[in-house]
Structure 1
Amino acid sequence: MKRAVIVKAKRTPIGKVNGMLKDFEPFKLAAPLLNYLAEGLEEKIDDVILGNVVGPGGNVARLSALEAGLPLSVPGLTLDRQCSAGLEAIRLACYLIQGGAGICYIAGGTESASTSPFSKRARFSPDKIGDPDMGAGAENVAQKYSISRESQDAYAQLSYERSWKAFENGILADELIPFGNHSHDEEFFKKRKMDTLLKRAKPIFKKDGTVTAANSCGIHDGASAVLVMEEETAINYGYRPILRFADSEVSGVHPNYPGIAPVPAIQAILERNYLTIDDIDLFEINEAFASKITACTNELSIPYEKLNVNGGALTIGHPYGASGAVMATKLFYEVQRRRSCKYVLAAIGSGGGVGAAIMFEAF
């Protein structure tokens, strides 16, 4: 069986909804990434696979490829698995390579909440099952798994401190490709007194709840993608593989508890490969809500020392369809800094109760 490897990865700076990237549609955000990733391989790209969640609809991946000036022979595929879409795009590209369907794919996601034509979210689930907003689902998770406000706020504070440290130390710059005049995430324009904000924040989804604006992510714009190649081909072309696709899983849970969906996906990968949490050197789990992260880490016994080590969506933001690719990009650069990792894993939960996870082997 052929092996799929990631040899390049980048993301745009992430902007707040109606913020610094408000005028750029999803294909405009993705195009510079495609140019960077395809450089020197333009005629070898089999396809561009991009996740996109809030529109505008149509084949955003094809539009992005055309905007980037890639050969007309590159078709483009757009998929929507809600917040898991960017990770699913990478997962699909890896399996296509393993199956012999191609040797070179660009995969990731792009999202512009600012230019979305849809005023309301899509339905996640039938009413007879329950169709909560993601915030209400985060409250459900907190209640079911006994996640306190204090533990959520403590994690949000930790994530904020890690994000700012990574930014100030230049670590996040490795991940980024400048977009126009923007060279870093909008969140880093001004430092906030997060401890004060966490204390003052009121529950926003339930009167006596624990989920607040301060321990939840915001709404954002941005894009991220990776270059996935067949391993021998990559080496022959002079590329250095960084992450080798090892295994993946998609799981479903009750739509009322979407935040816990990464747990069965991660468990399935570990069991199938005869591994434990101790065998995974780094985890990236999307930080849509601190309640979700705390519940997942409690259920799986993941130490915070291995988790989202340079912060995550609670600080820099969550551009829905792109976030899975953002996590893969973070892992791509962090394993190069550490040089001692063997297995790393990215996972994300989505509206409707879907969890996706990919395990990579680091070179």
Structure 2
Amino acid sequence: MRNPEDCPVIVDALRTPIGTVGGALRQVDAPSLLAPVLAELARRCEGPIDEVVVGNIRGPGGNPARIAALQAGIHESTPAVTLDRQCGSGMAAIEYSVAMLSGYREGFQLAGGTQSSSTQPLTFWPPAGPDAPPQQYFRAPFTDSRHADPDMGLAADLLSAERGIGRQRQDAYAARSHQRAVASADEGLFRAEIVPVAGLDHDERPRPGFTPERLARFRPAFSPEGTATAANSCGVNDGAAAVLVCDGRTAASRGLHGLRVLDAISVGCDPDRPGWGIVPAVRRLVGRTGVELDRIDVVDFNEAFAGQVLSCLDGLGIDERRNCPQGGAIALGHPWAATGAVQLTRLFSQLVRHNTTGARLGLAGIAIGGGQGTAILVEAI
């Protein structure tokens, strides 16, 4: 592992409330979701913004990062780029920004993600012939034709079955995620990280009445014999998040505190078991940094599906109760391209804003359609 003093530092992190598709944020497009977050982070920044890096999928095109940056009032001379690594896009943006600031680049960058499922364009394949109609599709292929390319829910069912993760355990995990998120909201633990948008100042999805018994009533959502349901899986959501990050030299010279990014890694895995991507990413991260998992204080693996995240936790030997201690995406929602940045915002709150226990190390991981995974290790300074 390189000298920690040379590692980039996340000095601030914010997000919007996470809205349910068709809910309070239904008329806010992807750039407009992100712009207030970028504007507030830029307002707090001690210097000019050098670059804006944003993840977005199934959006309007036209480089939403640039549009959001201009809407946010960031100077027109600041370049912006939009990345697509499916649901890992927000974390990929942070990974790319960290990589730039680990080299010759200096100063401050904004990195994050935005997703407006409510306003995403309708998409169609061209007609197959002169008399054929266009064919609407809801996702592009994640793989080439040699692979099965199952939908993410079906892939989660297959992974859960292979790893022996039963329905009862999944429902109990999902109910706990909701209970934790509701308790955290009631305690005001999300308040400082949320920038209100369109009059919404809280996450729409968490349900105070969810119990394992209630979740047991839901039918399988993706296959008749499957165990993933609408209740023990994440939602379809709208939201945005971003971090303000600078190189280690700038942080040291200005006495800035936050989350030092010790390492960020992306890997590939079996394209037909995309939910497994967290495991090889974390294993490689541990191998590169030498930081063992029992030293991690706060773990945030994205809860796309209860069975999927439980499979990854088991595969890495991590107690499931350690994951997402204040509730994860099953409760808060999964605004695809924004989620990775939401995870880093959540780590920032737990390790910097509200750290009363001396916790120091945080680990975020996300599995990605097409068979990929990303993991980021941070240290509070």
Q: When the two structures are superposed, what TM-score results if normalisation uses the length of structure 1? A: 0.95
Aligned to 1:132: 150
Tell me, in whole angstroms, the C-alpha distance in 2 between the residues paired with 1:306 and 1:208: 29
Q: What residue identity is the alignment partner of 1:35?
A: A
**1:85 maps to which of 58, 80, 89:** 89
Aligned to 1:23: 27
Tell me, in whole angstroms, the C-alpha distance in 2 between the residues paired with 1:92 and 1:101: 12
Decide which moves more: 313-322 or 53-62: 53-62
* Structure 2 unaligned regions, length at least 5: 124-137
Aligned to 1:273: 289
Q: In the alignment, is the contact (CA less than 8 A) between 2:65 and 2:81 conserved in 1?
A: yes
Aligned to 1:147: 165
Q: Is residue 195 of structure 1 aligned with residue 199 of structure 2?
A: no
Deviation of residue 341 (structure 1)?
A: 2.3
Aligned to 2:304: 288
Aligned partner of residue 136 in structure 1, secondary structure: helix
Aligned to 1:211: 228
Q: Is residue 301 of structure 1 aligned with residue 317 of structure 2?
A: yes
Aligned partner of residue 292 in structure 1, secondary structure: helix
Q: Is residue 234 of structure 1 aligned with residue 257 of structure 2?
A: no
Aligned partner of residue 229 in structure 2, secondary structure: coil
Tell me, in whole angstroms, the C-alpha distance in 2 between the residues paired with 1:71 and 1:193: 46
Decide which moves more: 177-186 or 213-222: 177-186
Aligned to 1:252: 268
Aligned to 2:202: 184
Tell me, in whole angstroms, the C-alpha distance in 1 between the residues paired with 2:222 and 2:198: 36
Q: Is residue 71 of structure 1 aligned with residue 72 of structure 2?
A: no
**Deviation by residue 1:47-105 (Cα, 9 ceiling, x = unmatched):** 11000012112211001011111100111110000111101111111110111223210
Deviation of residue 338 (structure 1)?
A: 3.6
**Deviation by residue 1:149-194 (Cα, 9 ceiling, x = unmatched):** 1111111011111111101111111221112311101125x63344
**Identity %, equivalent residues:** 41
Deviation of residue 339 (structure 1)?
A: 4.7
Deviation of residue 274 (structure 1)?
A: 2.0
Q: What residue identity is the alignment partner of 2:160?
A: A
Decide which moves more: 315-324 or 1-10: 1-10
Tell me, in whole angstroms, the C-alpha distance in 1 between the residues paired with 2:328 and 2:122: 26
Aligned to 2:130: none
Deviation of residue 118 (structure 1)?
A: 3.3
Q: In the alignment, is the contact (CA less than 8 A) between 2:178 and 2:210 conserved in 1?
A: no
Aligned partner of residue 115 in structure 1, secondary structure: coil
Deviation of residue 237 (structure 1)?
A: 4.2
**Rg comparison, structure with higher value:** 2
Deviation of residue 309 (structure 1)?
A: 0.5
Decide which moves more: 119-128 or 295-304: 119-128
Aligned partner of residue 186 in structure 1, secondary structure: coil
Q: What residue identity is the alignment partner of 2:101?
A: I
Q: What residue identity is the alignment partner of 2:367?
A: G
Q: In the alignment, is the contact (CA less than 8 A) between 1:42 and 1:70 conserved in 2?
A: no
Tell me, in whole angstroms, the C-alpha distance in 2 between the residues paired with 1:43 and 1:342: 27
Q: Is residue 103 of structure 1 aligned with residue 107 of structure 2?
A: yes
* Structure 1 unaligned regions, length at least 5: none
Deviation of residue 255 (structure 1)?
A: 1.5
**Deviation by residue 1:226-280 (Cα, 9 ceiling, x = unmatched):** 0001233235446x32100101211111121111110000011112222321111
Aligned to 1:36: 40
Aligned partner of residue 187 in structure 1, secondary structure: coil
Q: In the alignment, is the contact (CA less than 8 A) between 2:259 and 2:380 conserved in 1?
A: yes
Tell me, in whole angstroms, the C-alpha distance in 1 between the residues paired with 2:296 and 2:210: 33
Tell me, in whole angstroms, the C-alpha distance in 2 between the residues paired with 1:11 and 1:141: 31
Tell me, in whole angstroms, the C-alpha distance in 2 between the residues paired with 1:313 and 1:208: 24
Decide which moves more: 255-264 or 268-277: 268-277
Aligned partner of residue 46 in structure 1, secondary structure: strand
Cα 1:158–1:338 change in 2 (3 A) is same
Cα 1:218–1:40 change in 2 (3 A) is closer
Q: When the two structures are superposed, what TM-score results if normalisation uses the length of structure 2? A: 0.91
Q: How many residues align?
A: 361
Tell me, in whole angstroms, the C-alpha distance in 1 between the residues paired with 2:325 and 2:205: 18
